[in-house]
């Protein structure tokens, strides 16, 4: 004989209370265990493209151990705004600390200079690094430059200075005595906008750099090295191009960078690289060692020009200390 279901309201109310109690216990356990174990934290390496969309590269953890296999990007430097930037979520080599020590703009404005006096008669080149600062790769690079007592010029993107980690990297770069140049704020495609629009972007970049580290750049590098006659007529800064293009943005291979340097370097050369690549530090170390072995000295861009008696003039494009495009 079947038992008749008891629809007593008190029984129903009791069942509902039991269910509510069970739900409360589940929610409490969820909160105690930790929300972050179930829901991934927001990605910090997301970048906004020129069209307003967001993107990021896959975030496989890497170390600073030398890697010689080529990593490839699909687009050149002048299309950086349409490419993914490498993530800052990387790990350092064992025993190596890459955490910056924040300094105030007042402390970084006067940068210490520990380099030996440069020799005017000696072969001289300048390393330049575009698209930084990067919270990890710039710091790796600074360690290599310090190891060899080398000063370089960093062409900074203003849009990169939204994160404190990158601001700290810039402050450390200034404190180490390196030269800071302006690579614009948003890395626009220069020939797709007017000269006035690009100049406004440059000034926005200059302000961002100054606010971050207390230094206002006196030289610029246009994205992709592009410029127009109108821009040369209006720009109030010297434009630094390059002699040696390592194409590190394309292959990220230290050996290829070194081979390109050997083929293209001359006295007075300006070397183009990027401090947003995972193998930049290793590439630069190989290149510095070769240059020193072959009796080159390495300086900043401004010191190179001064040593070679080349005046930096607004509206001129400098490919090296001896090759430049006069202002029209």
pLDDT at 53 over 80: no
DSSP string, 45-85: --EE-TTS-EE--------SS---SPP--SS-GGGGGGSPP
CA angle 167, 170, 171 (to 5 degrees): 90
- pLDDT range class, residue 26, cuts 50, 70, 90: confident
Torsions phi, psi of 299, nearest 5? -135, 180
The pLDDT > 90 percentage for the chain reads 61
pLDDT at 36 over 80: no
Put simply, whether the predicted model's pTM sits higher than 0.75 gets the answer no
pLDDT attached to residue 34: 52
pLDDT at 55 over 70: no
- pLDDT range class, residue 24, cuts 50, 70, 90: confident
pLDDT attached to residue 29: 62
Q: Tokens 């009791």 label which residue?
A: 14
Which of 270 and 89 is assigned the larger pLDDT? 270
- Structure tokens belonging to residue 114: 């520990």
β-pair type (239-240, 179-182): unpaired
pLDDT attached to residue 222: 98
Alpha carbons 88 and 7: distance in angstroms, whole number: 62
Which amino acids are annotated catalytic?
130, 274
- pLDDT range class, residue 10, cuts 50, 70, 90: low
Which of 19 and 87 is assigned the larger pLDDT? 19
Question: What mean pLDDT do residues 79-93 have?
Answer: 38
Alpha carbons 144 and 282: distance in angstroms, whole number: 8
pLDDT at 42 over 50: no
pLDDT attached to residue 12: 72
Contact 248, 283 (CB under 8 A): yes
The pLDDT > 70 percentage for the chain reads 68
pLDDT attached to residue 93: 35
Express each pLDDT in 143-180 by its tens digit.
Answer: 999 999 999 999 999 999 999 999 999 999 999 999 99
pLDDT at 76 over 50: no
Tell me the chain's radius of gyration from C-alpha atoms. 26
pLDDT attached to residue 25: 73
DSSP 124: E
pLDDT attached to residue 9: 67
pLDDT attached to residue 62: 30
pLDDT at 66 over 80: no
Question: What mean pLDDT do residues 67-90 have?
Answer: 37
Average pLDDT, rounded, for the chain: 78
pLDDT at 130 over 50: yes
pLDDT attached to residue 47: 39
247, burial (CB in 10 Å: exposed 0-12, middle 13-18, buried 19+): middle
pLDDT attached to residue 30: 61
pLDDT attached to residue 146: 98
pLDDT attached to residue 19: 77
pLDDT at 48 over 50: no
pLDDT at 264 over 60: yes
- pLDDT range class, residue 117, cuts 50, 70, 90: low
pLDDT attached to residue 32: 62
Contact 205, 156 (CB under 8 A): yes
């Amino acid at each position: 004989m079947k038992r008749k279901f008891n629809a007593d309201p008190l029984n129903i109310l009791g069942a509902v209370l039991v269910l509510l109690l069970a739900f409360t216990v589940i929610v409490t356990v969820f909160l105690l265990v930790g929300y972050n174990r179930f829901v991934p934290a927001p990605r910090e390496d997301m970048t906004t493209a020129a069209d307003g969309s967001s993107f990021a590269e896959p975030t496989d953890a890497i170390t600073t151990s030398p890697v010689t296999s080529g990593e490839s990007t699909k687009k050149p430097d002048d299309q950086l705004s349409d490419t993914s930037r490498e993530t800052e979520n990387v790990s350092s080599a064992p025993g190596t600390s890459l955490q910056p020590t924040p300094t105030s703009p007042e402390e970084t404005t006067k940068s210490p200079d520990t380099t030996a006096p440069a020799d005017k008669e000696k072969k001289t080149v300048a390393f330049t690094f575009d698209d930084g600062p990067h919270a990890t790769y710039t710091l790796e690079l600074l360690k290599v430059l310090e190891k060899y007592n080398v000063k370089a010029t960093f062409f900074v993107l203003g849009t990169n200075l939204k994160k404190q980690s990158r601001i700290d990297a810039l402050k450390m770069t200034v404190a180490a005595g390196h030269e800071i140049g302006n690579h614009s704020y948003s890395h626009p495609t220069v020939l797709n906008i007017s000269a006035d629009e690009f100049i406004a972007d440059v000034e926005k970049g200059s302000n961002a750099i100054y606010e971050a580290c207390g230094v206002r750049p006196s030289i610029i590098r246009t994205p992709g090295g592009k410029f127009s006659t109108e821009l040369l007529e209006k720009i109030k800064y010297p434009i630094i191009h390059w002699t040696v293009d390592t194409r590190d943005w394309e292959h990220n291979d230290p050996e290829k960078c070194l081979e390109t340097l050997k083929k293209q370097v001359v006295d007075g050369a300006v070397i183009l690289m990027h401090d947003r690549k995972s193998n930049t530090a290793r590439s630069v170390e190989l290149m510095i060692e070769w240059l020193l072995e072959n009796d080159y000295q390495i300086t900043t861009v401004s010191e190179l020009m001064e040593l070679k008696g080349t005046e930096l003039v607004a509206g001129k494009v400098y490919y090296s200390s001896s090759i430049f495009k006069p202002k029209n």
